[in-house]
A and B are shown apart, each in its own frame.
Chain A
Amino acid sequence: DMDMTQSPLSLPVTPGEPASISCRSSQNLLQSNGYNYLDWYLQKPGQSPQLLIYLGSNRASGVPDRFSGSGSGTDFTLKISRVEAEDVGIYYCMQALQTSITFGQGTRLEIK
């Protein structure tokens, strides 16, 4: 299995301030088609995970533009430009390169 490592694991943020989460994969997620097979999910309390970002940097339908994804190869970042109260939850990165997808440990974002 491909290992996914996130940091930090806990992220307290003041509303209106930016936030950043890092994700590192044990294998290269950049393919010859130019796509990075890395997705980001948010799991709000008591809910199923919801897709935020796919192929490294593309926002899923309905995702606010304060969320952005970047990175390539093995190192990726999810940024929230201005955190809002509704952004609370656990953020997971997920490698979508292999059929046997794997997730990072999760980063818990909380409001200060």
Chain B
Amino acid sequence: QITLKESGPTLVKPTQTLTLTCSCSGFSLSTRGEGVGWIRQPPGKAPEWLALIYWDDDARYSPSLETRLTITKDTSKNQVVLTMTNMDPVDTATYYCVHRGYDDIWKTYRYDYWGQGTLVTVSS
């Protein structure tokens, strides 16, 4: 059973750097085809994709936020870490980590399992 759990600060100040950790179980980040992404959702709004990292350390970023984001993984802990610099109140959102797995039948990748999310508020 695949599960993901986000952890990190619930409150950050403007201009600070946010660091979030996604602890994964039920799959290995070192297995070919596995990936984990981060998606955020401001209160009352639609989700927004942020970043993605694959088993081979291939990392992808949202073009509009690329300069502020870094995604890494620690395979020994089976964790994925997202850092976002220069936080602003508009970055207040629930941040989700999401499993991206490869479907051998359909030969495609899919976002299939979401963590419970962690609400991050940016305020002085």
Contact = CB atoms under 8 A, between A and B. Distances in A.
B71 interface: no
Contacts of A48: 96, 114-117
Interface residues of B, number: 21
B46 interface: yes
A58 B105 CA distance: 12
A100 B62 contact: yes
Interface string A85-112: 0000000101010011111111000000
Most buried by B among A58, A92, A101: A101
Nearest to B96: A48
Contact of B47 (A50, A92, A100): A92
Given A99-B52, A99-B60, A103-B47, A50 B106 contact: no
A49 B60 contact: no
Contacts, number: 47
A51 interface: yes
Given A92-B46, A100-B62, A103-B47, A51 B112 contact: yes
Contacts of A35: 106, 108
A50 B111 CA distance: 10
B46 A51 contact: no
Contacts of B43: none
Interface of B: 46-49, 52, 60, 62-64, 96, 106-112, 114-117
Interface of A: 1, 33, 35, 37, 39, 48-51, 54-55, 58, 60, 92, 94, 96, 99-106
Given A48-B117, A50-B114, A51-B112, 8 more contacts: A48-B114, A49-B96, A49-B114, A54-B110, A96-B108, A100-B62, A103-B48, A105-B46
4 tightest Cβ-Cβ pairs between the two chains A and B:
A48-B114, A103-B46, A101-B49, A99-B60
